[in-house]
Structure 1
């Protein structure tokens, strides 16, 4: 789920197109790991369930990356998409919430090779303060403003209960955070220039169950 307040003012590329680029990049990385040097839009489309015409149209917003009848050079297109998405570097990310989810996120080693590194973890629980979460020590949220400004962080993850999420978001935004990945089951109220992406597994479960025959644990 996405808060689509912000737009690409540079060229007005539809946000839905931007949202597909990371999926293309992930698939190209997989092809690269399989030793593929060239891939056609048809092959990408078959892997993703997207039409080849849609893939070509999406990529055409950013230039010409392939030749008709030849396909795309996988390594080159990967590098170009990384530049477009600005993940040809490592972005520092702060994490608020050192519970089970926070532990899992801070310990996950799959972020860095895709352009992100969690550099600090914050929590108000006195029992968690000073303890290690992954490679980091938990700090009190009062340190957020100084940390965000001194390390020029623009991205944060919120992994706290719903009742605390808005206050945490306010603190992060006041500190200078521009983008938030929110795991709390709540819709945040934020200024229009702040981008929020939501991850709520229950929403996806409920979407799926609509299509299933009902068979619950209490039946």
Structure 2
């Protein structure tokens, strides 16, 4: 099987828009679920609903793959799984190193979904001497002093950073200097990389903050819907009172 360092996905992928590339894993996840249920074909509407996009966008995305389906039949599930997997480079073997084997790094190492999607955790690296030699997910943790050798020996082109933010850039620089050209960054910091190096950032705190925003908005909508017709929320009446002068008049000049 080919390794990630010597083989890249088909050059045709360069003509696929980034937005489409970002949706391909969603389609693949939905298609894989259908395949596991032995569903032979799927319509664009059914697949779009399962992936959370509209069917017109799905058909446009698939046109970049050269797949148009069959009128009245839909798309062949197994062939689409193969097509998308090939475009994403998942028909190859991609060795990955994880740097920073704390709770998050160990959890990622134990994640069983990597191997089934074309990724092999080739090495676990940590700067703590006490971690070196320990087994995590059946893999021996190696010290960061060996990082460059590990990357070279295993032909690694993808690195995962799960270190504290203060050392993430230093780790990133070493990974890039050693030949890593794609980085998945879990550290809560922005990394600076040279041209030709791709970085994907996963910030769990930002995702939680976005969810908190939606929860707050839903709570506000529920409170507003619970009011009798014509009633004004207390927060609005309090604001109106605060805007009025001592005698209840609205000031001629509103404060900045």
Tell me the TM-score normalised to structure 1 length: 0.90
CA RMSD of aligned residues (A): 1.6
The reply on whether 1:95 has 2:79 as its aligned counterpart is no
Corresponding residue of 1:169 = 172
- After TM superposition, the structure 1 stretch with the greater mean CA deviation from structure 2, 10-19 or 36-45, is 10-19
Equivalent residue number for residue 133 of structure 2: 130
Residue in 2 that maps onto 1:56: 59
Q: Note the residue ranges of structure 2 that are not aligned, 5 or more in a row.
A: 1-10, 220-256
Q: What SS does the corresponding residue of 2:214 show, helix, strand or coil?
A: coil
Matched, 1:18 2:21: yes
Matching of residue 156 in structure 1 with residue 159 in structure 2: yes
Q: Which has the larger radius of gyration?
A: 2
Counterpart selection for 1:41 from 31, 41, 44:
44
When residues 91 and 10 of structure 1 are mapped into structure 2, their CA distance, relative to the original with a 3 A threshold, is closer
Aligned 8 A contact 2:59 2:68 in 1: no
* Range with bigger deviation, 152-161 or 44-53: 44-53
Superimposed CA distance per residue, residues 167-216 of structure 1 (whole angstroms, 9 cap, x where no aligned partner):
0000000000010011100110111211011111111111111122389x
Shift in Å, 1:24: 0.5
Counterpart CA distance in 2 for 1:211 and 1:71 is 36
Question: Cα distance, 1:57 vs. partner?
Answer: 0.1
Q: Distance in 1 between matches of 2:106 and 2:214?
A: 33
Q: Which residue in 2 is equivalent to 1:114?
A: 117
Change (3 A) 1:55 1:35: same
1:169–1:135 CA distance, 2 compared to 1 (3 A): same
SS for the counterpart of 1:86 is: coil
Counterpart residue number, 2:207: 204
Offset, 1:9: 8.8
CA distance in 2, matches of 1:19, 1:213: 28
Q: Tell me the residue number matched to 1:5.
A: none
Instruction: Name the residue aligned to 2:142.
Output: 139
1:65 is displaced (CA, Å) by 4.5
Aligned residue for 1:139, secondary structure, equals strand
Note the C-alpha offset of 1:51.
Answer: 0.8
Structure-2 separation of matches of 1:187 and 1:95: 18
> Could you list the runs of 5+ residues in structure 1 that have no partner in the other structure?
1-7
Higher relative contact order (CA 8 A, sep 6+): 1
Q: How many pairs were matched up?
A: 208
Could you tell me which residue of structure 1 aligns to residue 33 of structure 2? 30
